[in-house]
Amino acid sequence: MAPARTRLMIDSARRMLRHGAYRKVAHLLEGMRPGDAADFFESITVQDRRRLAELIGRDALVHLLGALSVEVAAETFQDMDDPEFVTLIGRLPREDAAAVLRFLDAERREGILAKMDVSASDAVEELLAHPAGTVGAIMKPEAFALDETATVAEAVEALQRASDSGPIFYIYVTDKRGYLVGVVSYRMLLLARRDTPLGSIMKSDVSSVRADEPQDEAAALVSRHDLVAIPVVDEDHRLLGVVTVDDIVDLIQAKATEDIYKMAGLGSDDRVFCAPSRSIRKRLPWLFVNLLTAFLAASVVGLFQRTIQAAVILAVFMPIVAGMGGNAATQTLTVVIRGLAIGEVTARDALRAILKEGSVNLAIGAILGAFMALIALLYKGNPYLGLVLGTAMVCNMMVAGVAGAMIPLALRVLKIDPALASGVIVTTFTDCCGFFSFLGLATLLISRLAT
């Protein structure tokens, strides 16, 4: 579907929804690609989603359910009658079914599993046994694998029989115990003689990831080695499943969204049209923490009340010093947290990262400080005001660079998510240091500023 046509259909669906034409909207969603329908579905209220879910055809609803984020899917279908929900979940790929069920409360989840087909329920429960955030929680348990003694001809026949079970990117080779010993690409298969055992042509140096490792590790390996799939093994290197590139893309997108939300002090399930009570519950605690840290910065300003009274012009420039430090810290945080997320920065690189960010912000601070000193001189004709402002800018920018690199690295060592906690801590640092350096220098030169 062309983008222009997709936008037209979504705009039409929004207009119909405003007039309560739910049946027409449901019919329109059935004609969209699942991804486009999911984008529209996630942008409307949960009440509208539930009304539409009752009207959309079951086949289209299964495809839509598979394309939705798991949080939205769980929220939308959590009150659906058990028999209908069991039917929908049973038609999803096992890994998608497990992801949705993981977001339901324990009692509801157990009730759905008890009513599912035994074989499907067992497969889903095996995935649910892996903790959330690990590779095992998102892997496809049906990895295409053959014994190392199988011939090329037998591999081709097995591929033909499995052609309807979904895309197969690689042929994984196992020994008699089920241990992963190699991988065969289609190119290897085409170039080899039909009677050649797979063990003779396989690549034994195969990249793999353990089921209990963080999902970020799978994403890093796929990106580093340009893979379209990566096998998942247990601690004994026994093949358990596979993670494909579409899972990795979904993971990266979800992780990026989660990190952005965390840096803003939000929960990843806070949406524009979610219940107001949920937004309040998610946002208020972090804003309360911000309020407490703001009092800390205000207390620093309170130490210099007499200085501000003696030279009121200082109050004009105070927000500039603190604001620039906060902006510089945000830039550094973004670079460092991204580096940590993709494995670009490790504990061994900590000192180098801190020195680099500190020197970069020191140079930027010198340039901006000189510019602000000139502005202050032209504005008030007082070179001492420019000296105070420029020096404070240099100090605060350097603090922003060092703190912006050091704090997320320290939080990672302490097993605390840097994306969640770094922003408030670093902003407090830059506000307090900015105010202290600016007003402290002004206090030393107050006789030159008050004239």
> Residue ranges per domain, the chain?
3-133, 145-253, 276-449
Structure tokens at 397: 């920018």
The count of other CB atoms within 10 Å of the CB of residue 351 is 12
For 150, the 3-state DSSP assignment is: coil
pLDDT at 154: 93
Q: Which helix (H) or strand (E) holds 173?
A: strand 171-174
The kind and range of the H/E element at 146 are: strand 145-147
For residue 13, which amino acid is it? Answer: A
Q: Which residues of 299-320 are buried (b: 16+ CB within 10 A; e: fewer)?
A: ebbeebeebbeebeebeebbeb
CA count, 13 A, side-chain hemisphere, 436: 13
Residue 437: predicted pLDDT? 92
Per-residue pLDDT of the chain (451 residues; tens, 9 = 90+): 456 777 888 888 888 888 889 999 899 888 888 888 888 888 888 888 889 988 888 888 888 888 888 778 888 887 788 788 888 888 888 888 888 888 888 888 888 888 888 888 888 888 888 888 888 888 888 888 999 999 999 999 998 888 666 678 889 999 988 899 999 988 899 889 999 999 999 998 888 999 999 887 888 788 778 888 899 999 989 999 898 887 777 777 766 666 666 666 666 666 666 667 777 777 787 778 888 888 888 999 999 999 998 898 899 899 999 889 989 998 998 888 878 876 678 778 888 989 999 999 999 999 999 999 999 888 888 899 999 999 999 999 999 999 999 998 888 888 777 776 788 888 888 999 999 999 999 999 998 887 5
Q: What angle do CA 265, 267, 270 make, to 5 degrees?
A: 115
Which tens digits make up the pLDDT trace of 146-191? 999 999 999 999 988 886 666 788 899 999 888 999 999 888 998 8
Is-contact 86 116, C-beta < 8 A? yes
The CATH code of domain 276-449 reads: 1.10.357.20
pLDDT digits (tens, 9 = 90+) for 12-34: 888 888 888 999 989 988 888 88
Distance between CA 244 and CA 241 in Å, rounded? 10
Q: Are 411 and 421 in contact (CB under 8 A)?
A: yes
- Determine the distance from the C-alpha atom of residue 383 to the mean position of all C-alpha atoms in its chain, rounded to a whole number: 48
* β-strand partners of 145: 172
Distance CA 133, CA 256 (A): 14
CATH of range 3-133; options 2.170.150.20, 3.30.450.40, 1.20.58.2030, 1.25.60.10: 1.25.60.10
Q: Nearest CA to 170 among 252, 245, 247, 95?
A: 245
How much is the pLDDT for 39?
A: 85
Three-state DSSP class for residue 185: coil
pLDDT at 182: 92
pLDDT at 1: 46
Architecture of the domain made up of 145-253: Roll (3.10)
Q: Tell me, what's the pLDDT at 361?
A: 93
CA 97 – CA 439 distance, rounded (Å): 59
Per-residue pLDDT at 358: 92
Rounded to a whole number of angstroms, the CA Rg of the chain reads 29
* HEC sequence for 67-122: HCCHHHHHHHHCCCCHHHHHHHHHHCCHHHHHHHHHCCCHHHHHHHHHHCCHHHHH
Residue 87, token pair as written in the block: 């039917």
Task: Please provide residue 304's backbone torsions phi and psi, each rounded to the nearest 5 degrees.
Answer: -120, 35
CA atoms within 13 A on the CB side of 131: 7
